[in-house]
Amino acid sequence: MTDGYTIHPIAHIRTDFHDKFGIPRQSGLVPELTARIVFEPDYRDPNALVGLEGYSHLWLIWQFSTVAAEYAAGKKWRPTVRPPRLGGNVRRGVFSTRSPYRPNALGLSCVELAGIENGDLLVKGADLLDGTPIFDIKPYLPYVDAHPEARGGFTEKTAGYALEVNCPPALLDKLPKEKQAALLGVLKNDPRPGYQHDPDRVYTLDFGENRVRFTVAENTLTVREIL
């Protein structure tokens, strides 16, 4: 047994999120989101993917790269965090949350396998920043990984939260057709920090090649501009 072990990325993911603002708080919340997992040269071996097509979903083990960079610069992890869905002013133990500020800054996501193309994996429902390093990929096994009777802690009070989205068709049509439903799903899940409720504030979300500006009043999000 060793005290430390160095791991290296086997792949990086390409998504429509170039900034953490707007990324779904959990994988699978926006199934219309598409992404591509590109393997590093040392791991780009078709033999490693034999049989993968038999599975519908995958587990991704990855790194919160922006948090890892903060740690490298001297920031320390803390035993408690403030989950956004609790308004950002209630503390919970880090191991009872999925906060990125974890001791090793590791993330776990379940995604749908949409296809294998030229050695890349096409996936749906990912909640990752563009360029995120992937450390491992494992098949999702429904007979042991699915527990519909499981308790969800404080998330049982927030899981059903969603906004009504008002986006004029003329604005939505500025996006490629295949990305429109994904954007609406991202907006419905309320990208704002849980403590921000100013109805006059204009938020800006970078989504793929577009910038989306919107406001939120009560439970309605209104898209003001898509550039």
Is 214 within 8 Å of 221 (Cβ atoms)? yes
Question: Is the model's pTM score more than 0.85?
Answer: yes
Q: Using alpha carbons only, what angle is made at residue 10 by residues 7 and 13, rounded to the nearest 5 degrees? A: 120
Which segments of 34-147 are extended strands (E)?
Answer: 34-39, 57-63, 80-81, 92-93, 106-117, 120-124, 133-139
Predicted local distance difference test score (pLDDT) of residue 215: 97
Residue 174 identity (one-letter amino acid): K
- Average per-residue pLDDT for the chain: 93
Continuous H helices in the chain: 65-72, 142-145, 169-172, 177-188
Query: What percentage of the chain exceeds 70 in pLDDT?
Result: 98
Q: What's the pLDDT at 83?
A: 81
Long-range contacts of 217-220 (CB under 8 A, 24+ apart): 219/163, 219/164, 220/163, 220/164, 220/165, 220/166
The pLDDT of residue 22: 93
Tens of pLDDT, residues 134-184 = 999 999 999 999 999 999 887 777 667 789 999 999 999 999 999 999 999
What are the structural domains of the chain?
A: 11-155 (2.40.30.70), 162-226 (3.30.2310.20)
- 8 Å CB contact between 88 and 195: yes
Q: What is the pLDDT of residue 82?
A: 86
Q: What's the pLDDT tens digit per position in 108-134? A: 999 999 999 999 999 999 999 999 999
- The answer to whether 174 and 167 are in contact (CB under 8 A) is no
From 110, 200, 93, select the one nearest 146 (Cα to Cα).
110
* Token digits of residue 122: 């096409």
The confidence score (pLDDT) of residue 1 equals 59
The answer to whether 129 touches 66, Cβ cutoff 8 Å, is yes
Residues 48-57, mean pLDDT to the nearest whole number: 97
- CA distances from residue 154 to 117, 184, 196 in whole angstroms, order as listed: 39, 26, 20
Each residue's pLDDT tens digit, 60-110: 999 999 999 999 999 999 999 988 777 777 899 999 999 999 999 999 999
With a CB cutoff of 8 Å and minimum separation 6, the contacts of 60 are 13, 27, 37, 107, 108, 109, 110, 111, 123, 126, 128, 134, 136, 137
